[in-house]
Amino acid sequence: MIDELVELPDRPELLPASTMAYIGDSVYELFIRNLLLEKNVAKPKDLHKEAIKYVNATAQANLLARIKDDLTEEEVVIVRRGRNVKGGVPKNADRADYQYSTAFEALIGYLYLAEKRDRLVELFNKIKEML
């Protein structure tokens, strides 16, 4: 819906991996928030408390590890680029987990920006089964 209101980049694979991760973070968080509503978590305080269980470096790194064998070669390249993003690591995060969570977010962002909706839905359905 939102992507119908704005023009997405023609070649999202050329964007910096950090930019793909920035978008992917939002897309994944929206997926999780909707999933929590589906599970009848409705109070904002409870929604946030539950969401942070899934939207954190360790959880996202673990999800990436579980889906990595299902990724295409193209997706593996995006993940590698996301893992190698340079930058600071939050105090509450393990460096390796943070790198892999950035890789996970870059993958989600790339699929969204590349308008690969079927693939994004496919991965989200796999993730939904894992949660």
pLDDT in tens, 90-130: 777 788 888 999 999 999 999 999 999 999 999 999 999 98
Distance CA 66, CA 25 (A): 18
- Go through the domains of the chain in sequence order and give each one's CATH number: 14-130 (1.10.1520.10)
Residue 3 has pLDDT above 80, yes or no: no
Q: Which residues contact 94 (CB under 8 A, 6 or more apart)?
A: 57, 58
Residue 89 has pLDDT above 90, yes or no: no
pTM of the model: 0.90
* Amino acid at residue number 25: D
Positions annotated as catalytic residues are 25
